[in-house]
Amino acid sequence: MIDRELDSILKCVEKPARYTGGEVNIVRKDPDSVDVRMGFAFPDTYEIGMSYMGMQILYNILNKNERIYCERLFAPADDMEALMREKGRKLYTLETFTPADELDIIGFTLQYEMAFTNVLNMLDLSGLPVRREDRAKAAREGAHMPLVIAGGPCAFNPEPLADFVDVFLIGDGEELLEKICEVYADAKADCGADGASLRDTFLKKIAGFDGVYIPEFYEVEYFKDGDDGVPGTIKSFRRLADFVPERVTRAVVRDIDRIEFPTHNIVPFIDTVHDRSVVETFRGCTRGCRFCQAGMIYRPVRERKPETIKKLAMEQLANTGHEELSLLSLSTSDYSQFEDLATELMGLCKAQNVALSLPSLRLDSFSFKVLDEIQGYRKSGLTFAPEAGTQRLRDIINKNITGDDIYGAVRQAVELGWEHIKLYFMIGLPGETYEDLDGIADIARSIMDINYKIRGRKGGRFRVTVSVSNFVPKAHTPFQWEAQDRPEDFIEKHNYLSSKLRIKGVTFNYHETVTSNLEAVFARGDRRTGRILEEAWKSGCRFDAWTEHFKPELWEKAFDICAEEFGFADGKAFEAFYNYRKRSEDEILPWDIINSFIDRQYLLDEKHRAEKAETTPDCRLGCNLCGVNEYTECFV
C-alpha cells in the first residue's frame, strides 16, 4: 500500500508509475497464506525489465504454485533512489510494497554484464550486506537474511558475482526455480526460526541438483610467480564439500511445449521497450555462429507445436488488449513449420486488427512475401546482419551467408518498395584485417547502387544505416580463447570506417568502446573481478549500460585500486590480463566449472576451423557432434 511518505516521494520523481504496481493482470495473494515469498529482481529500470519475457514466464509459473508468491523488484532511477536513501526507504516489491529484506529469496536475472553494479546497488538499497559471506554471518547470528540467487545467460560464467550471490541457477529456469522454491519451503518448515540452520539445510539439499552452483562450496587457486603455470591464471577449482559435483551440469527443459507459458501477462501503465504480446516458438539455434553465446548455451533446438503457439497467441491478445503480436526465438524463420504458422497468424491477426511482428527472419522469397503482406505500403526498415564485410571473415565466424544472399535479398526488398535497409556488423573479430572493413563500405555502396539501378532517380529517398558493434569474446563459444581488440584499436577502426562510409544516403553508427572492453572483463572474468565491481559500485557506478550514467574514470580508478591486491602492476595490466591476451588451449577457464553440454573439444575444433576459414554446416543438415546428445535428445 502506498503510504503518505511514499506518495509524497512519487510526486517528485519522473514516471512514478514505475513504482506503484497495480497493473492489469498483477497477481495478488495473501502473503500469510504462502510458504515462500520471492522477489524476482531485474537489475535495470521498470521499462526494460517489463519488456523481458523471461520475467513474465517465471512470474506466471511460480504464482500458479499455491505455496509461492513471486513479486517484482526493479532498479529505481537516480531521482527515486536519491529520495529513497534520503528518507531511509528500502527497495520494495510492486505487488505488496514489502521491503526486499523481508522476503525469503531475492532472485536476479543476469541478462547483461553492464548491469552487474545494479545488482549490488539493489542489495544495498534492500538494507542487505552485498557480500555473500557477510549475509551468511548475519544469518548465523540470528538476523533474517534472504537467499540471493541469480540466473540468466550471464550466469554461465558466475565467477565475477561469486562473492555476492548465494546460489546460481544455470540453464532453463522454468522447472528448476519452482523446485528450488519448494525445497526452501520444506526446509523452512523443518528449521522454523533458526535462520542459520535454514540456510545450511537448504543449500545442502539443492547442492546436487542439475543447474545449481553454490560458490561457497568451491575454492579457486591461482598460479603465482615461480609456479609451473602462467601467473594469475587458475591453477585449480577445489570442492570444499563432497556433496557438490565436480562440475555443474546446466538445467534443461526437454519439452517446452508442455511448459507453462503466460497468457495473462502484466500490462504496464506506461510505455515499455517492447509493448506487445510475445510467444516463444522455439528455443535454441542450429546455425553455429562462432561468436554467439546464445547459439551454444541454449542448445538443443526445442519447438512448440503450431497449435500451441496459435492458442497462446490468441489468449494473450484477448487477456492483455495488446495491438501487436511478436514471435520470440533466435531465428524466427528457422521454425520447422514457419510458412504455415506465419500464414495462419497473419490471417488471425488481420481479423483482429492486430499487427504481427516477425523478427530475425531469413530473408528468402517466402519471408519477403510475408513481410510485404504484413507491412503493406507502410514499409519500415528492413534489417540484415552480415556481421562481416568479406566472405573470408564470414567463413571464419561461420556466418553461412554469401554476397549473393545479401544482394539478392536487397534486390527483392527494393523491388517491393523498401526504402531503408539496416545493416549490422561486428568489428574486432578474430582474423579481421582492414580489407574486411573496406568490405563493409563496399556492401553499403553496392546496396545504394542496386537501388539506383532498379528505381533510378525515384529512389532518392532510399537510405542505408550501417551499425557496428565491437566484438566481445564470450564464454562457452569457439572464440572464448581469443584476445579482444584494445580500445585504441577499436577507435582507429571506427575512424577508418567513418571515412570510408561518407557515402550519400548512408548513416554510420557505432558502439561505445570503453563499455565493450568492460563488458569483456566480466564476460570472461574470474572471482577477482568481483573486487573491481565492488570498488566501482562503492564509488558511484550504476546503470553502466546507459551512456549518460557510465563513468569510465571511476572504473579506471577501481582497476588501479584492485590491481596491487592481486599482483598486477597497475589497472591497465589488470584489464589487459582479462581482455588483450589469447588464452592457451589447456588453460583452466573461470567458467569451466559449468557444463553447458557443449564439449570443450568441439569448441576447440571450431576454433581451429575458424583459423583455416572453414565453415561448419547448419545442425539441421546433420549432427556436428557438439556434445549435446550426450545429455539430452537433440530435436533436429
How does pLDDT run across 286-317, given as a tens digit for each residue? 999 999 999 999 999 999 999 999 999 999 99
* Amino acid at the residue 32: D
**What is the β-pairing status of strands 355-357 and 382-387?**
unpaired
Residue 474 has pLDDT above 70, yes or no: yes
- Tell me what pLDDT residue 364 has: 77
Region 513-530 average pLDDT: 97
466: nearest Cα among 433, 430, 494: 494
Angle between helices 552-563 and 571-579 (to 10 degrees): 100
**Residue 250, number of CB atoms within 10 A of its CB:** 24
Residue 171 has pLDDT above 90, yes or no: yes
Give the span between the Cα atoms of 601 and 587, in whole angstroms: 13
Residue 376 has pLDDT above 80, yes or no: no
pLDDT band at residue 232, thresholds of 50, 70 and 90? very high
**364 within 8 A of 333, measured Cβ to Cβ:** yes
- Tell me what pLDDT residue 635 has: 56
Residue 352 has pLDDT above 80, yes or no: yes
- With H, G, I as helix, E, B as strand and everything else as coil, classify residue 128: coil
For CATH 3.30.750.210, the residue range(s) in the chain are 250-371+597-636
Give the span between the Cα atoms of 210 and 171, in whole angstroms: 9
Give the span between the Cα atoms of 85 and 476, in whole angstroms: 40
- With H, G, I as helix, E, B as strand and everything else as coil, classify residue 496: helix
Residue 114 per-residue DSSP state: G
**Choice among 297-306, 352-361, 554-563 with the minimum mean pLDDT:** 352-361
- Tell me what pLDDT residue 205 has: 96
* Amino acid at the residue 620: R
Region 341-348 average pLDDT: 94
Region 308-334 average pLDDT: 95
Give 401-444 as a DSSP string. Answer: --HHHHHHHHHHHHHTT--EEEEEEEES-TT--HHHHHHHHHHH
Q: For 83, what's the count of Cα atoms within 13 Å in the CB-facing half-sphere?
A: 16
- Tell me what pLDDT residue 193 has: 66
**Residue 449, number of CB atoms within 10 A of its CB:** 11
**Choice among 245-259, 305-319, 379-393, 578-592 with the minimum mean pLDDT:** 379-393
SS (H, E, C) 298-341: CCCCEECCHHHHHHHHHHHHHHHCCCEEEEECCCHHHCCCHHHH
- Tell me what pLDDT residue 460 has: 74
Q: How far is CA 321 from the centre of its chain?
A: 28
- Tell me what pLDDT residue 12 has: 97
Residue 378 has pLDDT above 70, yes or no: no
Residue 591 has pLDDT above 80, yes or no: yes
CATH class label, 379-511: alpha beta
Name the residue with cell 528505381.
455
- Tell me what pLDDT residue 82 has: 98
Counting every residue written for the chain, the total comes to 636
Give the span between the Cα atoms of 76 and 121, in whole angstroms: 10
Give 68-96 as a DSSP string. Answer: EEEEEEEPPPHHHHHHHHHHTPPPB-TTT
* Amino acid at the residue 443: I
- Tell me what pLDDT residue 192 has: 74
Residue 377 has pLDDT above 60, yes or no: no
35: nearest Cα among 13, 68, 57, 63: 68
Name the residue with cell 533466435.
330
Residue 372 has pLDDT above 90, yes or no: no
Q: Is 495 left (phi over 0), alpha (psi -120 to 50) or beta?
A: alpha
**Choice among 22-31, 66-75, 254-263, 620-629 with the minimum mean pLDDT:** 620-629
Region 232-258 average pLDDT: 96
Name the residue with cell 530473408.
363
Residue 543 has pLDDT above 60, yes or no: yes
- Tell me what pLDDT residue 375 has: 75
403-461: per-residue pLDDT in tens?
999 999 999 989 888 899 999 999 999 999 999 999 999 999 999 999 999 998 766 78
Name the residue with cell 501503465.
269
* Amino acid at the residue 376: G
Give the span between the Cα atoms of 602 and 480, in whole angstroms: 12
Give the span between the Cα atoms of 216 and 148, in whole angstroms: 13
Residue 274 has pLDDT above 80, yes or no: yes
> Which cell numbers hold the place of 519?
563488458
- Tell me what pLDDT residue 214 has: 98
Angle between helices 116-125 and 529-538 (to 10 degrees): 60
Give the span between the Cα atoms of 178 and 480, in whole angstroms: 32
For CATH 3.30.750.200, the residue range(s) in the chain are 379-511
- Tell me what pLDDT residue 457 has: 76
**Residue 515, number of CB atoms within 10 A of its CB:** 20
pLDDT band at residue 594, thresholds of 50, 70 and 90? very high
Name the residue with cell 497493473.
23
Region 371-380 average pLDDT: 72
- With H, G, I as helix, E, B as strand and everything else as coil, classify residue 359: coil
Contacts of 502 (CB under 8 A, 6+ apart): none
**471 within 8 A of 484, measured Cβ to Cβ:** yes
C-alpha distances (whole Å) from 441 to each of 420, 444, 500 are 16, 5, 6
CATH class label, 250-371+597-636: alpha beta
**Can you give the C-alpha Rg of the chain in angstroms?**
25
Give the span between the Cα atoms of 493 and 296, in whole angstroms: 28
